[in-house]
């Protein structure tokens, strides 16, 4: 069954989540971050996701911005970094994350073929709008779908249901792309054809679903045989 809709996770898939720490580390006055930014970026992202999962299990939903702030606070303390100025700069940069270099051309190719293109993310609508505008890809996306519509974070099934509610058709018409192995696995279990963009060469997650395609970059997606 041919794919008609291409859905992308946002953070780490289209937008470079390490960029905030990397950019801040190169700015005057942030010399203390220079040696720590890779570990800070990794820990920040990990805790952000962990907090989203824990809140979903506990039924204690909040905005993704809240778990982003909490994750940063934990990561800064773990790395021995302090300062309200640095904290605020890192948070400000998170609203301006760049897209990975291959993203605009890929989205334009898919759009030119008449396919629906959208984001499905834990991010709040405000965060996603800001990121898409900052990265210059807003016009290449038909919608920005947020978990705020259902009040629970991924990988809860109601999140993936938002795609078919918005674009119609069955899950088999959807190609779902994520840099998170657990996200790609959950999307596959839901019924999407999922692509795991495994940028770091990590092992496959031991979960119910398995992504049908594993890549190390977004570039080959337009050439997949599912179209």
State the pLDDT at residue 227.
Answer: 86
- What pLDDT, on the 0 to 100 scale, is given for residue 220? 97
The tokens for 199 are: 């940028």
Q: Where are the domains of the chain?
A: 5-15+97-223, 19-94
CATH superfamily, with its number, for domain 19-94: Putative phosphatase; domain 2 (1.10.150.240)
Give the strands of the sheet with 143-146, arranged side by side: 143-146, 116-121, 5-8, 174-178, 193-197, 213-215
Of 3.40.50.880, 3.40.1260.10, 3.40.50.1000, 3.40.50.2020, which CATH number belongs to 5-15+97-223? Answer: 3.40.50.1000
Catalytic residues: 9
Q: Distance between CA 167 and CA 142 in Å, rounded?
A: 10
Residue 1 has pLDDT above 70, yes or no: no
- Look up the pTM and report it: 0.96
- Per cent of the chain over pLDDT 70 is 100
């Amino acid at each position: 069954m041919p794919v008609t809709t291409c859905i992308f996770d946002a953070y780490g898939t289209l937008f470079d989540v390490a960029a905030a720490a990397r950019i801040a580390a190169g700015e005057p006055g942030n010399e203390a971050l220079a040696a720590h930014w890779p570990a800070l970026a990794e820990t920040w992202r990990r805790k952000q996701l962990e907090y989203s999962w824990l809140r979903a299990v506990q039924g204690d939903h909040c905005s993704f911005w809240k778990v982003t702030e909490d994750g940063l606070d934990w990561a800064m303390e773990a790395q021995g970094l302090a300062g309200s100025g640095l904290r605020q700069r890192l948070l400000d940069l998170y609203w301006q994350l760049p897209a990975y270099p291959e993203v605009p051309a890929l989205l334009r190719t898919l759009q030119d073929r008449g396919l629906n293109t959208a984001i499905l993310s834990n991010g709040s609508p405000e965060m996603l709008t800001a990121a898409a505008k900052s990265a210059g890809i807003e016009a290449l996306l038909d919608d920005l779908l947020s978990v705020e519509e259902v009040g629970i974070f991924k990988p809860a099934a109601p999140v993936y249901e938002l795609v078919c509610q918005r674009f119609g058709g069955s899950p088999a018409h959807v190609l779902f792309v994520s840099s998170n192995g657990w996200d790609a696995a959950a999307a596959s279990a839901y019924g999407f054809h999922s692509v795991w963009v495994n940028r770091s060469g990590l092992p496959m997650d031991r979960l119910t679903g398995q992504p049908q395609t594993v890549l190390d970059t977004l570039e080959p997606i337009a050439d997949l045989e599912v179209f």
